[in-house]
Amino acid sequence: MTAPLHEAHPSGPGRVLPDTQQGMRRRNLARVMHAVSAEGQLSRAAVASRIGLTRAAVSTLVDELIRSRLLEELGPERPGRVGRPGSALAVSGHGPAGIGAEIGVDHLAVCAVDLRGQVRARAIRHGANRGRSPEPVIDELTELLRQVVAEAKGEGLWPAGLAVAVPGLVARDARTVVRAPNLDWHDTDLGALLPTDFPLTVDNEANFGALAELWLGEGTPPDFLHVSAEIGIGAAVVVAGGLLRGTRGFAGELGHVPVRPEGPRCACGGRGCLEQYAGEEAVLRAAGLEPGEDRVGLLAGRAAEGDAAVRRALRDAGKALGIALTGAVNLLDPESVVLGGALSGLAPWLLPSLEAELDRRTAGPACPVSVSRLGPEGPLLGAAYSVVRAVLDDPAAVAERN
Amino acid sequence: MTAPLHEAHPSGPGRVLPDTQQGMRRRNLARVMHAVSAEGQLSRAAVASRIGLTRAAVSTLVDELIRSRLLEELGPERPGRVGRPGSALAVSGHGPAGIGAEIGVDHLAVCAVDLRGQVRARAIRHGANRGRSPEPVIDELTELLRQVVAEAKGEGLWPAGLAVAVPGLVARDARTVVRAPNLDWHDTDLGALLPTDFPLTVDNEANFGALAELWLGEGTPPDFLHVSAEIGIGAAVVVAGGLLRGTRGFAGELGHVPVRPEGPRCACGGRGCLEQYAGEEAVLRAAGLEPGEDRVGLLAGRAAEGDAAVRRALRDAGKALGIALTGAVNLLDPESVVLGGALSGLAPWLLPSLEAELDRRTAGPACPVSVSRLGPEGPLLGAAYSVVRAVLDDPAAVAERN
DNA sequence: CTAATTTGTAAACGGCCATGACGAAATAGG
DNA sequence: CCTATTTCGTCATGGCCGTTTACAAATTAG
């Protein structure tokens, strides 16, 4: 996991990876893992026909994976058809685990996920982190991490890597937080503060949320737009099953898409950006509420009670979101739009105006809008599962590390 | 060339291509071709270090490619360093050729490009095609095709495929034109009308224009936004060296990105779409001119003369483009924006207001805007070179067809 | 003129998947 | 109940392909 693997990458004319027999073997090991992981349970013969290799070849690959404790033999399948029944294989529930962590504005969380995607251990600590310096926060996180790792080890798992979701911009090295306005952190190298004996990756929580939707959401297509709001409004663009990060890593700044070019000034230098209409601050102001703790819960509560001002504010925000998303949908033609993060809790009041605006304006057929069912857990799960994906993508690498 | 190769594609959990030794060989042949093609001239040893194989392996690969007439041995390199000088290899100038064709609103064009990217034969026929039925147009195109193929064969080339650029929407089969408003063609199967003895691909001219920029433009990055205008305004999104086509193939509809949400109604059902401000019709109206032949040339001429109304119209169009592009740039974070098609001729008067708007509004650092130097030839060259790319991407496939 | 360096090729080697055969374990049909 | 059929997993064999090792050829450095 030296490089983040969940990334679309060029096969451009520059320096290219060699295609040697060892590489072929590694890719085939990965194909077996992916096939079994996707179906949950599969015989060798089924894997063979699925990935296009012969049964004999798959046998040796599976042997190797079982020896590395990445795959488990569950025993003979219940026969339904003629012929000898296959022996069911499943991804191991006692092998490597992905450790995910989230540094939120008012909580810290850590969890361990096994190769099957099951959460096997977790720990949460509530309490505002806004404005605290990194060191004590990381100390607390390290303690949670210790607990979770211990619990996972008790279940026969061993940590294959740690992925940390942070509410801010992360440098390309996937270690240092360039700036996290809500924490007031700048250029913080989590790699130095979090010395672990397994690989570390840091990424934006919105990105991990989108990946969670991609990997763990039910029926999520490989091309979609994941919109989330914490303070800012961000969109993650998922194309062909990979995150589009942009040249400088700044892709997805939906919050600064112009909605009304002559609208109110924005901190970014523009005018009438989406954030001026659908950002947290703007919505609270329009609803006549003061900023404070748990603002989203407050909004949702008032809206549920029937507060007219709040409902109007959310309706207007939905409309602005619809306008901005129209541009995005026309440009990218995604299969769907998913609302995640804080937006999922407010969806009932945002959706009607959002969809109305989007449907009316989109050039082609309407693009379906859905709400994430992972809710606020998305980023944490996505982080943990990103480690699992790295294992599935190159099982040989972790096997030799064990 | 059964499938369009210039496409980002998923490695998703579904059915995956097998990784066999033959496949490895084919990919390594492709790597050698790409390496030599990228540098123009390279020794075996240089290829080996570039693609990460040993000299011995590269030797056998090169032998095979030379036997297939895809590579040529130019003889010993001029020695500059110590050691035995290498033998220069170059992509063949006497092997397969890519044939490109363009069906424009008021012209037809065909050209042949060799593996080195050199145009080796061409034929053009001017004359309005608007409203003519497909058959006579295709007949004329076939005649041009015949000429170009004959000329190419005279130079020792043989056609490896035909790619046709059309001003309209093309179905996913890459053969039938769903609708081309400027030609008034609907559901026209060019595969049936153009029976050739080599593979055929049909695509939108804007897509081919963007690919031409990617493949043949000087210093074009692998991530950029290519904006072009014919009647509508379209953007091609190039990500990681591949075209982003969208789920339904509708990606890039920049013309219907909302610029002013309460602006004038648009045919698409929305309001204030970019096309209402920067579309050809809108600009002509704002400039006080009547629609007619060679509208772009007219605009450019008047603007050059200093016509105030025309200049103002273009300035306003540039501003609207800047607003729409701000959204796209914030969402995608491309390395640059390239203006192509009709826009390249009008760039001097569009650019200032466009860049001003874009720079002011973009959240991150400014995104450079450049003008395509391929100009109106882009789509034709892109089409022809797309065939060449297909050869470079899988040389074994064409070798066995020869 | 010799030593050092680099290139291209040839032969032996080892790894990996395909092929074909075979035993094992189920169903189908008499 | 017994046999033919089907499917699964495995084993031995073979062929393909990149690596390793060695070597001759061609150049520069001194």
Q: Note the pLDDT tens digit of each residue in A48-71.
A: 999 999 999 999 999 999 999 999
Nearest-CA neighbor of A364 among B331, B269, B227, B175? B269
CA quadruple B389, B395, B398, B402: dihedral sign: positive
Which 286-305 residues of chain A touch chain B by CB within 8 A? none
In sequence order, the 6+-apart residues with CB closer than 8 A to the CB of A80 are none
CA distance B323 to chain A (A): 7
Q: With contacts defined as CB-CB under 8 Å, which chain A residues touch B388?
A: none
Chain B contact for A117, CB < 8 A? no
Is A159 in contact with A96 (CB distance < 8 Å)? yes
Query: Helix, strand or coil for residue A203?
Result: strand
Is B17's CB less than 7 Å from nucleic acid strand C? no
Contact A38 B362 (CB under 8 A): no
CB-CB contact of A243 with A237 (8 Å): yes
Instruction: Please state the rounded mean pLDDT for residues B156-170.
Output: 95
For residues B366 and A358, give the distance between their C-alpha atoms in angstroms, rounded to a whole number: 29
CB pairs under 8 A between A and B: 223
Q: Indicate yes or no: CB of A241 within 8 angstroms of CB of B11.
A: yes
Q: Which residue in chain B is spatially nearest to A250 when comparing CA positions?
A: B333
Structure tokens at A14: 């520059």
**Chain C bases closer than 7 angstroms to a protein Cβ:** 4-11, 14-21, 23-28
What do you get for the CA distance between the two ends of chain B, in Å? 14
Report all structural domains of chain A as residue ranges with CATH numbers, in order of start. 21-91 (1.10.10.10), 96-210+378-401 (3.30.420.40), 218-373 (3.30.420.40)
Mean pLDDT for the stretch of residues A178-194 = 93
The answer to whether B313 and B302 are in contact (CB under 8 A) is: no
Instruction: Tell whether B333 lies on the interface with A, counting CB pairs under 8 A.
Output: yes
Q: Is A322 on the interface with B (CB under 8 A)?
A: no
CB-based burial label for B195 (10 Å; 0-12, 13-18, 19+) = exposed
Q: Is the pLDDT of residue B314 over 90?
A: yes
Q: Is A154 on the interface with B (CB under 8 A)?
A: no
A21 contacts B244? CB cut-off 8 A: no
Position B163, amino acid: A
Å between B258 CA and C27 C1'? 64
**By the CB < 8 Å criterion, does A268 face chain B?**
yes
* pLDDT in the model for residue B357: 96
Instruction: State yes or no: pLDDT of B116 exceeds 70.
Output: yes
Dihedral over alpha carbons A333, A338, A339, A344 (to 10 degrees)? 160
H helices of B40-76, in order, are 44-51, 55-67
pLDDT tens digit string along A235-247?
999 999 999 999 9
Q: What is the pLDDT of residues A296-325, one digit of tens each?
A: 888 999 999 999 999 999 999 999 999 999
Whether the predicted pLDDT of A208 surpasses 70: yes
Whether B332 and A237 lie within 8 Å, measured CB to CB: yes
**What average pLDDT score do residues B202-231 get?**
94
Residue B196 has pLDDT above 90, yes or no: no
Question: Which of B 188-247 lie inside 8 A of A, CB atoms?
Answer: 221-223, 235, 237, 239-242, 244-247
* Inter-chain touch B20–A53, beta carbons under 8 Å: yes
In Å, how far is B315's CA from the nearest CA of chain A? 16
Which protein residue has its CA closest to C1' of C9? B56
